[in-house]
């Protein structure tokens, strides 16, 4: 049984103060910690041993004799043998005992089993706990279903390999690195079969995963990840904010596109199939006349999420979008939590967030600001689940 929201509401009504902002130590934890530090909230990063140095050493808060922050933004690091251990009974008690409000990122929803998050993790999550599962493409109630109900354009689904009549992208997990992608493209059933065989032979994908793969139209156009924020603390008409836009750098895909065509063709066959391993992010803005449509999509997403997953989206979310040849946005993925590219506006903010807040506003800072406002007004239960 999923944990009832009323239980989390009861929990936060007697929560210890001051509240501590928590994040799992990967993905966007620096942005979350930096935002908390800027808003004057204490923070803790939940790290896996062996992956803790970024937080425990390089971004660790150092204070002067007067207690003022001299350097860094990560106040505390709690180490676990494995990330999943943070959901153990004793760990949950420690988190509650310190008043930790956990900001869910992809590291949290990837490394802690979703069923544990939904049914056992009795720690307030700043956002929409029940929406984390929609990111799993193999679920029936996934983000495609939500986008469709919202009337948001998505890439056309292709029913099977034999129906491939245009350039498609085949979406399935990587065979070995289960949290990464084993995506490939194909423009015909023959190309699908040839690449399938090559990728299975080199251990990139498995035929089991392929049986559940999503095949969809490949949108030829640039990728824009729209980092939104929705606040339930203000009137609905003021709730949606666009904070920033990022794009990804994907390992050898980005290497490939930086080569002239002749050199690409001279590569060994195995190197010509790109990997979609995200290794970094860049920042973008979007042509101003397109913004209106982006806001419309964001509003529709908020409304549909409130209907399908009450109370709906709370706080940060990201619509991952390709702009097609006409400049029309087509949403190919959704993060119902802070997106993976928000470190681009860490510290400095982003043109859009800054324009709204008249000063540096990152996603991490906006989340901390929301927590601070909710605490000040006694409305914490409205932003957690
Ligand atoms: P995802 O795992 O859905 O976030 O996708 C990873 C990457 O695959 C994206 O950053 C895009 O570069 C690419 N991609 C995914 N879906 C599509 C699509 N339908 N058309 C074009 N590119 C796509």
Collapsed DSSP state (helix, strand, coil) of residue 258: coil
Say if 169 falls within a structural domain: yes
Mean pLDDT across 5-23: 95
User: What CATH number has the domain bearing residue 341?
Assistant: 3.30.470.20
Say if 25 falls within a structural domain: yes
Say if 136 falls within a structural domain: no
- Structure tokens belonging to residue 236: 């609905």
* Alpha helices for the chain (secondary structure H): 5-13, 29-38, 53, 89-97, 106-111, 114-119, 143-150, 189-201, 207-211, 251-257, 261-266, 269-272, 288-308, 351-357, 363-376
Q: How far apart (Å, rounded) are the C-alpha atoms in residues 249 and 278?
A: 6
| Ligand 1 lined by 169 (C-beta under 6 Å) | yes
Burial of 280 (0-12, 13-18, 19+ CB in 10 A): middle
The number of distinct structural domains making up the chain is 3
Q: How far apart (Å, rounded) are the C-alpha atoms in residues 23 and 125?
A: 10
Say if 272 falls within a structural domain: yes
Average pLDDT, the chain: 96
| Ligand 1 lined by 277 (C-beta under 6 Å) | no
Q: How far apart (Å, rounded) are the C-alpha atoms in residues 252 and 142?
A: 29
Task: Assess whether 200 and 262 both reside in one domain.
Answer: no
- Structure tokens belonging to residue 276: 């979609």
Closest Cα to atom 15 of ligand 1: 332
Task: Assess whether 352 and 225 both reside in one domain.
Answer: yes
Task: Assess whether 317 and 196 both reside in one domain.
Answer: no
Q: How far apart (Å, rounded) are the C-alpha atoms in residues 311 and 318?
A: 18
Q: What is the DSSP letter of 125?
A: B
**Residue 131: C-alpha distances to residues 30, 117, 121, 193 (Å):** 23, 11, 15, 35
Identify the residue whose tokens are 């101003």.
288
Indicate the pLDDT class of residue 273, thresholds 50, 70 and 90: confident
Mutate to test the pocket of ligand 1, among 138, 155, 332 (most ligand atoms within 8 A of CB): 332
Within 10 angstroms of residue 7's Cβ, the number of other Cβ atoms is 10
In tens, the pLDDT along 296-331 reads 999 999 999 999 999 999 999 999 999 999 999 999
Paired residues of 23 in beta bridges: 45
Q: What is the pLDDT of residue 178?
A: 86
Task: Assess whether 295 and 148 both reside in one domain.
Answer: yes
In tens, the pLDDT along 55-103 reads 999 999 999 999 999 999 999 999 999 999 999 999 999 999 999 999 9
Task: Assess whether 200 and 251 both reside in one domain.
Answer: no
Q: How far apart (Å, rounded) are the C-alpha atoms in residues 299 and 117?
A: 27
In tens, the pLDDT along 135-160 reads 998 888 999 999 999 999 999 999 99
**Residue 82: C-alpha distances to residues 43, 49, 108, 156 (Å):** 20, 7, 12, 39
Mutate to test the pocket of ligand 1, among 174, 333, 335 (most ligand atoms within 8 A of CB): 333
User: What CATH number has the domain bearing residue 112?
Assistant: 3.40.50.20
Domain around 187: 161-212
> Could you write out the DSSP letters of every residue in 196-246?
HHHHHHTTS--HHHHHT-EEEEPP-S-EEEEEEEE-TTS-GGG-EEEEEEE
Say if 138 falls within a structural domain: no
Task: Assess whether 247 and 348 both reside in one domain.
Answer: yes
Task: Assess whether 333 and 204 both reside in one domain.
Answer: no
Paired residues of 283 in beta bridges: 246
Task: Assess whether 192 and 291 both reside in one domain.
Answer: no
């Amino acid at each position: 049984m999923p944990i009832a929201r009323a239980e989390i509401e009861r929990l936060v009504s007697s929560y210890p103060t001051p509240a501590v902002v928590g994040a799992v130590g990967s993905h966007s934890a620096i942005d979350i910690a930096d935002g908390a530090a800027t808003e004057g909230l204490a923070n803790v990063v939940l790290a896996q041993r062996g992956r803790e140095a970024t937080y425990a050493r390089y971004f660790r808060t150092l204070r002067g004799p007067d207690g003022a922050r001299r350097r860094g933004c990560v106040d505390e690091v709690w180490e676990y043998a494995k990330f999943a251990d943070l959901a153990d009974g004793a760990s949950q008690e420690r988190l509650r005992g310190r008043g930790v409000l956990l900001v869910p990122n992809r590291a949290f929803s990837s490394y802690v089993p979703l069923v544990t998050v939904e049914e056992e993790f009795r720690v307030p999550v700043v956002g929409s706990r029940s929406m984390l599962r929609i990111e799993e493409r193999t679920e029936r109630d996934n983000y495609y279903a939500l986008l469709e109900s919202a009337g948001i354009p998505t890439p056309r689904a292709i029913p099977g390999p034999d129906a491939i009549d245009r350039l498609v992208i085949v979406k399935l997990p990587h065979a070995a690195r289960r949290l990464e992608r084993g995506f490939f493209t194909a423009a015909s059933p023959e190309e699908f079969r040839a690449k399938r065989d090559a990728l299975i032979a080199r251990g990139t994908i498995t035929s089991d995963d392929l049986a559940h793969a999503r095949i969809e139209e490949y949108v030829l156009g640039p990728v824009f990840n729209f980092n939104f924020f929705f606040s339930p603390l203000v009137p609905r008409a003021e709730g949606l904010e666009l904070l920033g836009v990022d794009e990804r750098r994907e390992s050898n895909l980005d290497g490939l596109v930086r080569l002239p065509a002749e050199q690409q063709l001279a590569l060994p066959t195995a190197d010509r199939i790109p990997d979609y391993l995200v290794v970094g992010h860049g920042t973008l803005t979007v042509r101003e006349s397109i913004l209106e449509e982006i806001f419309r999509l964001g509003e529709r997403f908020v409304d549909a999420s409130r209907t399908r997953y009450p109370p709906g989206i709370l706080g940060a979310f990201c619509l991952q979008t390709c702009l097609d040849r006409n400049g029309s946005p087509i949403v190919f993925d959704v993060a119902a939590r802070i997106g993976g590219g928000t470190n681009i506006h860490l510290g400095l903010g982003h043109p859009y967030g800054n324009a709204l807040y008249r000063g540096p506003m990152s996603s991490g800072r906006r989340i901390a600001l929301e927590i601070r406002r909710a605490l000040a007004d006694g409305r914490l239960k409205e932003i957690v689940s």
